[in-house]
Amino acid sequence: MTAPRLRQHSRCGFRMFSLFLYWRFCFRIARRRKATMKALCVSAFVILALVSAVVPLSAHHSWPLSYDQLVTVKGTVIEFMWANPHPMITLEVQTNDGLKEKWLVGGPAINRMEANGWTKTTVKPGDVITGIGYQFADGQKIVRLERAILADGKEMRLYASR
């Protein structure tokens, strides 16, 4: 009668030992998974940081301008688009021949324009303004403003004292 009890007791010990091995095995797997997850998170963070740095850099560009001479454009404001990356003013300009042309005149980013006193209500459709700046080198009717003379005669700069 003692033999079955010993066998039953030894099975219980075997089960306890098996349970111990099982938990130890699970703990090791969990630790490996945790290390793998940590490496995955670090890799994802590095990739996200690199992509975040590249996107603003790719958005930055220079204007293809001809810096040979300043161009003066006087016309009636049709539209003033106050948005980044470059707020743009659409002007209707009358040529010497009496024809009307549309010109785009624009400035730097909104924060730089605001630093020089501009707001989204500085110019309004119907205002007659004079834009002074550099025209695109390929002859397009686009000017990067250096300064503008508003309808009331006030001169507004777009860049700090240049």
pLDDT for 125 = 96
**Do 1 and 55 reside in the same domain of the chain?**
yes
**Do 144 and 81 reside in the same domain of the chain?**
yes
Tell me, yes or no, whether 65 lies in a domain: no
Tell me, yes or no, whether 66 lies in a domain: no
- Based on the structure, what is the number of domains in the chain? 2
Tell me, yes or no, whether 142 lies in a domain: yes
pLDDT for 117 = 92
Q: Tell me the mean pLDDT per 10 residues along the chain, length 162.
A: 47 62 74 75 77 61 80 96 92 94 93 92 95 92 94 88 54
pLDDT for 7 = 46
Tell me, yes or no, whether 35 lies in a domain: yes
pLDDT for 120 = 93
**Do 46 and 76 reside in the same domain of the chain?**
no
Q: What is the pLDDT of residues 65-102, one digit of tens each?
A: 888 889 999 999 999 999 988 899 999 999 999 999 99
pLDDT for 6 = 44
pLDDT for 114 = 92
Range of the domain at 43: 1-60
Nearest-angstrom CA–CA distance, 150 and 129:
5
Tell me, yes or no, whether 129 lies in a domain: yes
**Do 76 and 125 reside in the same domain of the chain?**
yes
pTM above the 0.85 mark? no
Instruction: State how far Cα 51 lies from the chain centre.
Output: 12
pLDDT for 1 = 46
